[in-house]
Amino acid sequence: MSGYILALDQGTTSSRAIVFDKNYQPVATAQQEFAQIFPASGWVEHDPEEIWSSVVATARRALAQANLTPRDIAAIGITNQRETTVIWDRESGRPIHNAIVWQDRRTTDLCNRLRVDGLEAMFMERTGLVLDPYFSGTKIRWLLDHVEGARAKAEAGKLAFGTIDSFLLWRLTGGRVHATDATNASRTLIYDIHRGEWSEELLRILDIPKSLLPEVRDCAADFGSVEAHILGGGIGIKAIAGDQQAATVGQACFAPGMMKSTYGTGCFALLNTGATPVKSQSKLLTTIAYQLGGKATYALEGSIFVAGAAVQWLRDGLGIIESAEQSDALAKAADPAQRVIMVPAFVGIGAPYWDADCRGAIFGLTRASGPREFARAALESVCFQTRDLLEAMRADFTSSAETVLRVDGGMVVSEWTMQRLADILGAPVDRPESFETTARGAAYLAGMQSGFYPRIEAFAKSWQCERRFTPTLSTAERDAAYAMWQDAVRRTLTGYTR
């Protein structure tokens, strides 16, 4: 059998391709950033063609770097930014509009109207999601209503919808396969996570033709084969999973009560709840963690819209750092007497508050506040938001085991942030040996489906902790810091003028 797996990791700000060997270790990596498009306040778009070209380019570079050909690759696994919405023409394969990104808030008014009509309970019951612009369903409706001729073509069966995985799959297979997996489907606001099918009722409410939608398959399944001209040979596509669910698999969080948190552009924490979906009383999302053999495993999820993006703002918006790595050193050097709190609600605020209209705020500024205090506040905001999620999860799902958080994503390289996270949570934080957990999860699912990798139990044993961060603050100190954060959030939510 061929000796490697290729993971295509299509994220919010860049596309990456990583080749993994039989021991789950990366042997080659290629990455390419692409443009972030902001047509209006609160609107975020991507060019699907630029995404496509970046995926192909990085896949080719990774194979060349590893000196491999398609014959050496046993399977491909795809993982992707979730909720980001693309509609394309079935005949030409061309998108009818830029992709509307998960961060985009243009459908806030539509969500509010649906809420006023008393429909939020129905959406939550079917999908496990709240009515928020974050999800794909209202983005589909916006495209059909605002792109000239789109609705007529959709009703005639001439258009196709997909999250980024479906769009890539369509292109990779030359338009032969229009499919997605259960994890991505569960983020659309139109998929019944209990019955495992598209909801006719919700489609009717949002006025979305069912002919637009992809077939929903397991995370590990046969998704067709790559056209030979794209990578130089055909390779079977054997797995698809949304990025946060792929990270859950990559972190081997297979048992109920296990929790992972990924710190990228945003932050997303998932708590495995097993075969039974848990209805949150704390404004968390109920979602599908992964689906194998036709059986779904569920999770509670907390979504933080701005995590690493706060550090990017320090760099690109304020210009007080040249690289993200500098934020760690600045935070360490911050004046402990300065208590600057940043609420980074640049695109609204997610769980457990869910306010699409509010915007960011900074509290506690004095004449002595400077770049060091801003850096600390940006990193600390991620820790406080994670505690918000952990508190909500503890309220919704009780477990006798001690909560240990497995972390991944670009921000976990910051020693200061990870220690501060453990201090604010009052719980251990485990950083794995391999930071490539999202791509690793997609690679594992593809390898398992193709027979290259073993079953789940053996894979779980391969997970190793590189470092455990344990709390050093007293309970009084951490609770006092968290109380300041809660006060800042309250002031932000009540004080923002809409």
What domains does the chain contain, in order, with CATH numbers? 4-243 (3.30.420.40), 252-432+464-498 (3.30.420.40)
Q: What is the pLDDT of residue 400?
A: 46
Longest Cα–Cα distance of the chain, Å, equals 65
Instruction: Give 496's pLDDT tier (boundaries 50, 70, 90).
Output: low
What 3-state class would DSSP assign to 76? Answer: strand
Predicted confidence (pLDDT) per residue in 352-395, tens digit: 888 877 888 999 989 888 889 998 999 999 999 999 998 888 88
> What are the tokens at 14?
């860049």
pTM: 0.86
Q: What is the mean pLDDT of the chain?
A: 91
- pLDDT at 35 exceeding the cut of 60: yes
Cα 186 to Cα 66, 128, 192, 288, 333: the distances in Å are: 35, 8, 7, 6, 43
Instruction: Give 31's pLDDT tier (boundaries 50, 70, 90).
Output: very high
- pLDDT at 95 exceeding the cut of 70: yes
Predicted confidence (pLDDT) per residue in 395-426, tens digit: 888 764 566 789 988 888 888 999 999 999 99
Tally Cβ neighbours within 10 Å of residue 66.
20
Q: Let me know if 484 is exposed, middle or buried by CB neighbors in 10 A (0-12, 13-18, 19+).
A: middle
Tally Cβ neighbours within 10 Å of residue 214.
23
> What are the tokens at 181?
């997996």
Q: What is the pLDDT of residue 413?
A: 86
Predicted confidence (pLDDT) per residue in 250-275, tens digit: 999 998 888 899 888 888 899 999 99
Residue type, 374: F
